[in-house]
Chain A
C-alpha cells in the first residue's frame, strides 16, 4: 500500500529549481502580449476612449475595447448561475472599479504597458454604493442553491427559556486570496479551435465556460493548467486573463499572453466579500444549548449570484432544540466575489465559535467542556446520522497535547513581563462530498499504465496523491504510473475546489482501475478503460458527510502597543483516510496560516470617497509574514469515510475554518476583551 505513507511531491524538484512551467512561462512562437486596463471609477460609463496615441507607439498591434471587440455570449455562467461579469468589453458600463475596459496588444509586455499608459479614457461617474451592512436597504435573502435554511424548534420560546443569551454581531472584511502566482493566460486559435495555457483550478470547467462565451463546441476548446501557483478559490472562475487573451488572439491573429500584475489581481479578480453576522445563542445554566440563531450577511455584485455560506457551523456543530439560520445577500457596486479558503465556513466559524465561547464565558464553564457537552448524536437539523464524526476525539486529543487541562479560566490575568498570555479553542465542520469526474487508464504494452484525468494540481500535491491512488488501485509501484492531468482534453473532471477535487478524482481513478482490471485478462495491449462517475454518485445519501477539526491557539498581547502574536497553534483533524500524511499536513498547516493571517492581518480597504481599493498590493494588504507564524502542529485522528469507496474526504479548507475563532478566543483570554471584528489589528486591541 502506497496510500497512507508520507511521500514527497513528485514535481517538488521541478518547482524549487524553477523548471516547472507556469501559465506565463510556456514558450509560444509568434507571441504577442496584452496589457489589461481597468476602470478607475467605482460606477459609471466610459465617455470616451481614445486609443490613437497608444496605437501610434512602437510595437502596439491593437487596442481592444467595447467599440471593436467581438461579441461574447451573455449566457455564460459560473458555478452559481449566469455571470454578467464574464462578457468583457461589451459595452460602456462600468459596474465597479477594476473592471477591465481595454486590452492593449503589443510585441512586448513593455510596449503593451506603455500603450496602456497612453490610452486616454474619460468616464461619466455615477454615485456608487459600497456601504455594506446586514440591514442595508437592498439586502435580500441569499440563494438557496446549497439547500434551505435551517428552522427547527421554537426559537423564541427556547431563547426566552434560556438562562443566558449571547446576542452579538461579528464582522469580517473583504479578503483577497493572494496566491503566489498572479493570474496569467496564453491563448491562440488554430482551425477554429481555441488553445490556452491558463492558471486556473479546473481546466475542464473553464473550457465549458469559454465554449459558451465564444459560442463554439466545447471539444474545440483546449485549456491546459499544468502547474498552478496556488488558487485558494481565486482561480475557480473563468478569469479575465483568459477571456481577454482569447479575444485578443482572435483579433490580432496571433497567440496572445495576458499576465496580470499583483495590483491587477487585487483590482480585477474576485475576493471574499465582507460579512456581518448576528449570532444569538441561548443556553441553560448547565451549559446545555437551547437556541441557535445565526444570521449572516455578505456582499455581492448584481452581476452574478454568489453564496458565502456562513451558517454551516450553526447547523452541524451542536445539538439544540431550536436552530435557525438566515443568509442575506447585499448587492453593492463591487467586483463579483469569489470563493476563498473555506468560503462561508471560515468567516462563519469565526462568528459562531466566538459566540459559543461567549456562552461559556457567561456561564463560567470551560469552553472546551461546553463544546463537548453539546455534541449531537445525529445531525441537529436534518436528523440524519453522520457517516463519521470524530470531532470529540479531535477536541479531547487536541486538549491533551495542548495542555488545556492546566488552563486558568480567568481572562486578562496571565502576565509574562509586559505581555498578557491567553489560550483559546474552536472547532469546525466542513461539508465533504464527491463531484462527477471521469478518468481513463491505458495498460501499455511495456507493463506501465497511463492515467488521464482532467484534475489539476494547484500546489496541493494532487499529482502525487493521485499517482499513489492509481498505483494501489492497479497493484503496481508508482514508477509504473504515468499520470497526465491539468488539461481539459483529458476528460470531464471536477475542479480543485470546494475541498472536493481529490475525492472526486480519486473516485474516478479507482473506478476506472477496477474497470480496467476486469478487461485486462487475456486482452491485447494497449487496452484502455474509461469511467465517468456521474451515474455512480449518490446525490441523496442518508448520512451527513463532513470533515472536522479542533484548533487550539496560544497568543500574547502587549497592552501598551496592542500587538498580538500567536505563539502556538495546534490543529487536530478528522478528514477520513489520509492519502499522503506529509502533503496533507503541509496543506493543513498552510490553511491554518491562512486562518492566522485572516485573524490578525488581512483586510481589503476601499477609499470612503472614491470607492476604489486602497490596499491593492502586498505592502498595503498584509498577509502573515514568516515571523508571524509560530510553531504549528497539524495532525490527524484515525478516521475512515464510509460513504467513499477509498475512505477519504477532502481536506483543502477545513484548516482555515476555526483558526480565526481560536485566536480571537485566545485574545479574549489574554486581555479580557472580546474581538468581534477581524482583523485583530493593534488599534483594536490598544486601550485608549
Chain B
C-alpha cells in the first residue's frame, strides 16, 4: 500500500476544496488500495459530513443521504414500505459487517469485481486504458451479455443500483461550480471505448443524496438475486421489478437487471411490451424474450440469457401473485 494523505472533512465545501478522492465506508476503495488497484495520493473522509440522514421529500418521495449506511437504509420503515426492492437489494449484498460500513454514495461508485481488474499484474482497459481486456477471451463466465464492447466485458457489481435504475432514482451532487443531478438510468454511460469512464459525474463531484421519486408502482416491488452461493457473492443475474396492475391490465411496470452489463440494465423493451397489456405469464415470457433478444453472450456465459429470461418471468409472476 502506497503512502497517501488523509483528511476528514466537516463541510461539503471543504471536501470539494480538498482535491482528493472521497472516502466513505471504504469497503471497496480501501480493499483496492491494499491490492494496488487504486493508488490515490489524497483521501478526504466524508463520514463527518451531515449527509447520513433519510428524509421525506416535499412531493412524498424519499431522500437518502450519501453517507447513510446500507444497514440503515435497508432497515428504514419508509424504504421497506414504499420501495421494498431497495431494501431487499441492500440486504442481498455483502455481509452484515460490510453493510454497517458501506454507504449510499459509495455503493454507486464501487468498481467492478472482474478478476482481471482486481489484479494489477493483468492488463485491463478499465484500470489502465489501452492495455487490453483479457476477459474477452479469458475467464468470463460471470461477465456481461448485453452492451459490452471489445474494450471491456465486465459487469457492474451493485445490487442497490439495480432497483434505483428501475425506479428512476436521481443522484444529486455538489461541485465547486454548483450542484447538479443525474437520473440513475443515465448515471452510468455505455461502456463504449472508454470503460475507465464509469459515471457521467463531473470531475470532483461529491454525491450528496439520492432521491427516490414517488410512484405507486414501487410499493409492489421485488429484488431477486441469483448467485453461486447463498450469500456473500455478487449477482450472477439479478432482477428488480415493480408491477402495478388494474383490472388485469398493466398500468405501470419497472424492470431492471443486474449482472448482465457494465451498468444496471433498465429493461425498457420488456416494460414497453407489458405496458397496457394483460398481466399473464405468457406476456411476461414475451416481454423477457423481447428484452434479451439483444443479448450477445460471450463464449462461456450463454446460460445468463436463459437465467435472466427465467428470472424476469419468475419475479413478475411472483409480483402478480401478490395482489
**A residues whose Cβ falls under 8 Å from a Cβ of B:** 40, 110, 113-114, 117, 263, 418, 560-563, 565, 600-601, 605-610, 612, 614-617, 619-620, 622, 624-628, 681-683, 686-688
Contacts and interface: CB of A to CB of B under 8 A. Distances in A.
In the complex, the 7 A-B pairs of residues with the closest C-beta atoms, listed nearest first: A627-B230, A627-B231, A683-B303, A560-B310, A614-B139, A625-B232, A628-B230
Q: Which label, helix, strand, loop or mixed, suits the secondary structure of the A interface? A: loop
B109 interface: no
A565 B228 CA distance: 10
B138 A622 contact: no
Contact of A609 (B1, B137, B226): B137
A617 to B, nearest CB: 7
Interface in B268-323: 302-303, 306-307, 310-311, 313-314
Given A622-B229, A626-B231, A683-B141, A616 B306 contact: no
B307 A561 contact: yes
Nearest to B303: A683
Interface stretch (B116-124, B212-220, B259-267): B116-124
Given A608-B139, A610-B134, A614-B115, A622 B314 contact: no
A682 B137 contact: no
Contacts of B226: 561-563, 682
Contact of B310 (A561, A607, A609): A561
A617 B118 contact: yes
A686 B231 contact: no
Contacts of B236: 682
Nearest to A629: B230
Nearest to B31: A619
B228 to A, nearest CB: 6
B113 interface: yes
B229 A625 contact: yes
Contact of B228 (A113, A117, A601): A601
A123 to B, nearest CB: 12
B36 interface: yes
A481 B2 CA distance: 50
Contacts of B35: 263
6 contacts: A561-B310, A606-B139, A610-B138, A625-B229, A628-B229, A682-B303
Contacts of A560: 310-311, 313-314
B229 A627 contact: yes
B37 interface: no
A605 B139 contact: yes
A622 B306 contact: no
A382 to B, nearest CB: 42
B254 to A, nearest CB: 21
Nearest to B232: A625
B137 A608 contact: yes
Interface in B104-154: 113, 115-116, 118-119, 121-122, 134, 137-139, 141
B49 interface: no
A14 B208 CA distance: 45
Given A614-B116, A683-B303, A418 B314 contact: yes
A114 B303 contact: no
A277 B95 CA distance: 38
A601 B310 contact: no
A113 B122 CA distance: 18
Given A562-B307, A686-B303, A624 B229 contact: yes
A614 to B, nearest CB: 4
B245 interface: no
Q: Which of the listed residues A565, A608, A624 has the most CB atoms from chain B within 10 Å of its own CB?
A: A608
A601 B229 contact: yes
B30 interface: no
A120 to B, nearest CB: 13
B34 to A, nearest CB: 9
B1 A113 contact: yes
Interface of B: 1-2, 35-36, 113, 115-116, 118-119, 121-122, 134, 137-139, 141, 226, 228-234, 236, 302-303, 306-307, 310-311, 313-314
A544 B60 CA distance: 76
A625 B138 contact: no
A117 B310 CA distance: 46
A619 B35 CA distance: 13
A494 B36 CA distance: 41
Contacts of B118: 617, 619
A623 to B, nearest CB: 8
B14 to A, nearest CB: 29
A514 B267 CA distance: 77
Contacts of B141: 605, 683
A608 B139 CA distance: 7
Contacts of A627: 229-232
B279 to A, nearest CB: 19
Nearest to A687: B306
Given A607-B139, A619-B118, 6 more contacts: A560-B310, A561-B311, A600-B229, A617-B115, A681-B228, A682-B236
A582 to B, nearest CB: 27
Contacts of A600: 229
Nearest to A597: B229
Given A615-B115, A620-B115, A607 B314 contact: no
A619 B139 contact: no
Q: Which of the listed residues B121, B139, B226, B311 has the most CB atoms from chain A within 10 Å of its own CB?
A: B139
A141 to B, nearest CB: 32
A620 B112 CA distance: 13
Nearest to A685: B303
B2 to A, nearest CB: 7
A565 B230 contact: yes
A403 B137 CA distance: 48
A40 B121 contact: yes
Nearest to A110: B1
A625 B307 contact: no
B166 to A, nearest CB: 19
Contacts of B306: 686-688
Contacts of A683: 141, 303, 307
Contacts of B310: 560-561, 686
Nearest to A610: B134
B315 to A, nearest CB: 10
A565 B226 CA distance: 12
B307 A607 contact: no
Contacts of B228: 601, 622, 681-682
Nearest to A113: B1
A565 to B, nearest CB: 6
A687 B139 CA distance: 22
Contacts of B36: 117
Contact of A616 (B119, B137, B303): B119
B231 A614 contact: no
A180 to B, nearest CB: 15
Contacts of B138: 607-610, 614
A441 B205 CA distance: 71
A362 B229 CA distance: 32
Contacts of A615: 115, 139
A625 B231 contact: yes
Contacts of B119: 616
Contacts of A605: 139, 141
Given A563-B226, A614-B139, A627-B230, A682 B2 contact: no
Nearest to A565: B230
A624 to B, nearest CB: 7
B135 to A, nearest CB: 9
Nearest to A623: B229
Nearest to A626: B231
Nearest to A114: B2
Contacts of A561: 226, 307, 310-311, 314
A682 B138 CA distance: 20
Contacts of A40: 121
Nearest to A117: B36
A610 B137 CA distance: 10
B148 to A, nearest CB: 18
